[in-house]
Structures are given as structure tokens and as C-alpha cells.
Structure 1
Amino acid sequence: MPANVSLSQWFRQGEQASYVRATKSPGQIVGMLEVARPAGDTPLPPLSDLILFQDQLGGSRVSGNSGGGHFNVISEQGAFFLGAPNFAHSIHVERNHLLRSLAFPLSNWQTVLDEASEGQLSVERLSLYKGFFHSPTIRSAFKNLWVLADEEGAPSRLLVRAAGCEILAEICRLSGAPFAPVNGGLAPWAQRRCVEMMRVRLSEDISLDELAAEAKLSPFHFARMFKQSVGVPPRVYLTQLRMEKACELLRLTELSMNEIALEVGYSSGQVLARTFIKYQRRSPSEYRRLVRV
């Protein structure tokens, strides 16, 4: 197998493709798959990704080695398994199973892992490779990513990068890395510049890396400090700004739903409507009628 093959690439090859039920891979930041596989051996060749699997069914005996030595467990619904990069996994599952996976290409995420563990853990030394584990933090972040992929088609680069930072930080914490709380938020000048950047570029798929560079911070530290300063993660704040602008355009213009969607960074009126209903508890059309009475 060629070097640097990702999980998504491997599953698109040969008989593996028939097991894939959903693919949600925004660019090359992460890869997300849903895979339904029969009972039996489910080996994985050495891949270039750090892979997080979530068991959607539970109740099956799972045994093998995913990078941390042999394990033999009864999985639980919603439990996570972590697979080491560049390691030939040998896994046996006794029942048909349904998995969702989140794959992190190390080329994009090594710096985040180093910062989250303060340089004290290598990817080979993570303790979560042996059996399953639970994490409410990871479950929430992964669920949000998946839901937003359903709603928006491809989650924004900002969301994906921020969620990835949160998940990898929790993986490092659970593996025993020192994890200090955030000491203070953004400097006032950095907060002002980043918020203004979001406002000016509402229609664009702005990235966490771009915002972090504006604040002269790494993406990992920026995401944590922004939340400390503003009270919500950058992606949530950007969505709030987009909803404010959408309300303004619905109130003051005759633009169509598709035109408003493009103005505020969504691919279609349908995507705008799903997000608008979640935040405003009414559709854009209903909102427009109410504010124009």
C-alpha cells in the first residue's frame, strides 16, 4: 500500500467501499465515515491518520490490537476506540457492527497534539489505544460535527478545526498529559480584530488558522482563549453574527432566501433555513413576515 494513505482513501478501495454508508470529509482537515461491517476480522493496514471510532450499536465482543497491545472487551453503545497511525490493526468483532469514524491526518494535526500535551506525549504513547473509553466532551464535539455535516453539507473549516482541537486536547488529557486551564483570554486588540474579521468575511469559509494568525496565536491556544474572552467558541460566535446579518437582510431588503444565504456564508436557502430555525425558532420567511407587519 502506498505511504500516507488515509482512512477515507482506503475505504474507497475494492470491497471496502461496499461497507461505507456515509462519507463526510470537509477538505483534508479531517475525514468522517459511517461504516456497516459484518462480524469477523476487520483489519486495517498502517494508515497515516489517528483514527477515532465510535460504536453506534454496542453489545459486541471486540478483541485485537489497535496500537496499544491486545484487548478483549464487550463494547458499549456510544463508546470510542482509538486507532494509532502507521500501525497495522488486527481487530475481531463478534457481531455485525456500525461505526462512525473521525480521522485526523497527522500532517495537519501534529502541532495541535504537541501543544495539547505540552510536548510530553508522542502519538505512539497515547494510552487510549487499548480497548474502549467514554468521554462526554468528545461525544458532544463529534455529534455536533456530524449533525452540522448533515445540515450544511460540509461543515465550515472553522468548525472542523475548532472541534478537532477540542477532541485532541481531551484525548491527550485522558492519556495523562498535563492540561492547564486557560489563563486569561485574548488581548482586547486581538479580540477586536478577530471579531471585525468575522464580520467583514461573513460570506467566506473563514478558517480557525486565519483568525489565530490575526491574533498572533496558534489555532489551539486561540480557540481556548477566544472562548474564555467571548463566552462561546469561535464557530458559535460566527454563526451568531451570520444570524444577526440574516435578520437585518430579511428586515431591510427584498433579497431572496438564496441570495441572503450566500451573503452570510451558506450554500443555499435550505441550509440557511435549517440554521435560522435552530437559532430563531422560526423560519426566515416567518421572521420576514413578522418584522414587516
Structure 2
Amino acid sequence: MTVPACSPAIQWYSKGRPASVVRRRKSPGGILDLLEMACPAGDVSRPALPGIVLHHDLIGGSRVSGDLGGGRFDVTSRKGDLTLAAPNFATFAVVEASRHLCSLMFPLAQWQKMLDEAANGDFSLDLSQIYGRMFDSPVIRSALRDLWALSDVEGAPSRLLAQAAGCEILAELCRLAGSPLVSGRGGLAPWAERRCLELMRVRLSEDISLDELAAEAQLSPFHFARMFKQSLGVPPRVYLTRLRVEKACELLEMTDLPITEIALEVGYSSNQVLARVFLKHMRLSPSDYRRAVRDPVCSIALP
């Protein structure tokens, strides 16, 4: 994927009145834009943007009217509701009370090729059945929750995390709109699995992308993500984190490298990020782990 410096959506929400409502922002290389926003009551219309925008209402209870690309609506939102805004459409919306939203934006320039491959060249963004409608999806809510949680632990989402989460969410949106994407059958071929895992290990310190792993398996990124999970039991991003934690453990046990250097060696930007990931998976800090494995009488119990 070609990675732009800043997507049109981020440009819009970084200027003027919209900038004042943004509370958190995560934007991994223009692949996805994640925004948490506290929107006041009133007119929240925006110009046309070249991407679809998914809103997740965190509090509900506000009457909302307007048009997000699927026709006029007038509804009262509920906590957890999802709403989709159409691409290249100047949305109109008025809310009667303040809203707390998490929004996920898919720049089309980054996703069109992948979606075309997933649909055998016949992908259409005609999701008119759900544009502007309030709907629920446990699959999407879970993916959004995981995406934010992992972003908070690891900092800006990796390209692998952003692309894999985006594939899962877009596939579910297409299914809900009545245009399900055809998924790959079965798991990875043994040779493809071996080559992908080796590539992960060799490039552990890098921000490897879903595109690169898929190319190694000679598959489209969309089909690769699903087939990898069928073969290994977890998504590529989860498996990569496991490899990084395993390598960090090895380096803590076998070397005297500073923890900051170990963090960079296994693909994390700082020792603080490594500490958060390590604590989540090993239930103790890297320093405590090093002391525990080197001191037989250490009172810290390893997981």
C-alpha cells in the first residue's frame, strides 16, 4: 500500500472547529484513522471525504437527524450503536445532546486494491442498506475494543494490526449490507506457513505489514489474514506479539543487553512499550523477569 503523510479525514478533523472535539487520535501510516471525540449538541455536518467512516456511540441517548449517504433519518441513539457514513458524501447531521464517539476512518486509497482482490475484482462500496442506519455488531464492537486496547499498550497501531483489524471490520460491514466477501477456504499451505513464520522471525524488529506476509504466501492480504488464523489459531498480529515476547525472554535470560536495546531488537519503540506488553503477557516486568530467571532463590514466581 502507498502510505500518505496525512489522510483527508485527519486533515479535516485537525483544523478549526472539529479539532476542538478530538480527545484521542491514532493513525498508523494512513491505513486507518482512529479518533475519540466529544461532540457537543448542534450541527455536526462535514464535507465529503474519500473514505468510509464508522462511528461507535459510547453513551447513547441523543436524538440524531440527517443524512450520512443512505437517505434521511431521525432516530434516538443507544449506547453501543454503530453508524456508517458513505465515502465522497457531504454528510448532514444535527444532534440534540452531546455525544461521545469513537470513529474509525478507512481512506479508500489504502483499501480499494485489497477489497478488489478479496471480491475478485468486483468490489462495490454500495453499502446503502446500512449507511446512516443505527445498527449493532458484536464482531465490530469487539474488533474496535481490541484495536483501542492494543493501541494504548503498544502506542500507534502497527501496520499489521491496522490492516488485520480493518479487514475483519470491512468484511463484517459487507456481510451486514448483504454483499459478503468470499473468504479463502482452509488454512495456509505448509510451505506458505513456514515462509511466513520465518519472515516474521527474521524481521522481528520491523513494522512488517500484512501485505508483505500475504505476498510471501502468494495470497491477497484479505484472504491471507483469514487463512493464517485458520492455520495458527490466532491472527497474524497476535502471533507476532508472541514471537516478540518469546525473543525478549530469550534476550533477558541469555544477555546483559539493556532493556531499551532489547525493546528495539524485538520491534517496540521504547522500554516503556515493551514493559506494558511484557506485563500483559508475562504478568511481571522485564526487569523482574530477568532477576527471576537468573536468581534461583528469587521469590518472584514465573508464570
Q: Shorter-chain TM-score category?
A: over 0.9
- 2:51 corresponding residue in structure 1: 49
Relative distance call for 1:257 and 1:126 in structure 2 (3 A) is: farther
Corresponding position of 1:232: 234
Question: Which residue does the alignment assign to 1:135?
Answer: 137
Q: Which runs of 4+ in 1 moved over 2 A?
A: 111-121, 178-182
Deviations, residues 164-188 of structure 1 (Å, cap 9, x unaligned): 0000000001111235564211111
In the alignment, is the contact (CA less than 8 A) between 1:117 and 1:169 conserved in 2?
A: no
Matched residue, 2:154: 152
Counterparts of 1:125 and 1:263, CA distance in 2? 43
Q: Distance in 1 between matches of 2:27 and 2:49?
A: 16
| Amino acid in the other structure paired with 1:12 | S
Quick check: 177-186 or 271-280, which moved more? 177-186
Q: CA separation in 1, counterparts of 2:99 and 2:15?
A: 20
How far apart, CA to CA, are the structure 2 residues paired with 1:292 and 1:82?
A: 53
Partner of 1:59: 61
Instruction: Describe the shift of the 1:178–1:97 C-alpha distance in structure 2 as closer, same or farther (beyond 3 A).
Output: closer
Map of 1:101 onto structure 2:
103
TM superposition score normalised by structure 1: 0.94
Offset from partner CA, 1:100-144 (integer Å, 9 cap, x none)? 111101111123334555666621334211321111111111112
What amino acid is aligned across from residue 70 of structure 1 in structure 2? R
Name which of 16, 27, 30 aligns with 1:28: 30
In structure 2, C-alpha distance between the alignment counterparts of 1:75 and 1:164, rounded to whole Å:
24
Match of 1:163 in 2: 165
Moved more, 9-18 or 235-244: 9-18
* Residue aligned with 2:126, SS: helix
Residues 60-109 of structure 1 show CA distances to partners (whole Å, capped at 9, x for unaligned) of 11111101111111111121110001001111111011111111011111
1:118–1:177 contact (8 Å) kept in structure 2: no
Distance 1:121 1:182 in 2: 16
Q: How many residues align?
A: 290
1:82 to 81, 84, 90: 84
Question: 1:201 is matched by which residue type in structure 2?
Answer: R
Shift of 1:290: 1.3
| Distance (Å, rounded) in 2 between the aligned partners of 1:175 and 1:268 | 42
Residue of structure 2 equivalent to 1:281: 283
Q: Please tell me the residue identity of whatever aligns with 2:267.
A: G
Residue 8 of structure 2 is matched in structure 1 by 6
Which stretch has the larger CA shift, 228-237 or 18-27? 18-27
Secondary structure at 1:101 match in 2: strand
| Among 259, 276, 280, the residue aligned to 1:257 | 259
Contact kept, 8 Å, 1:203 with 1:263, in 2: the verdict is yes
Q: 1:39 aligns with which of 34, 38, 41?
A: 41
SS at match of 1:124: coil
- Stretches of structure 1 that go unaligned for 5 or more consecutive residues are none
Deviates more, 1:112-121 or 1:59-68: 112-121
Q: Residue 120 of structure 1 contacts residue 177 of structure 1 at CA under 8 Å; is this kept in 2?
A: no
What is the identity percentage for the equivalent residue pairs of Structure 1 and Structure 2? 62
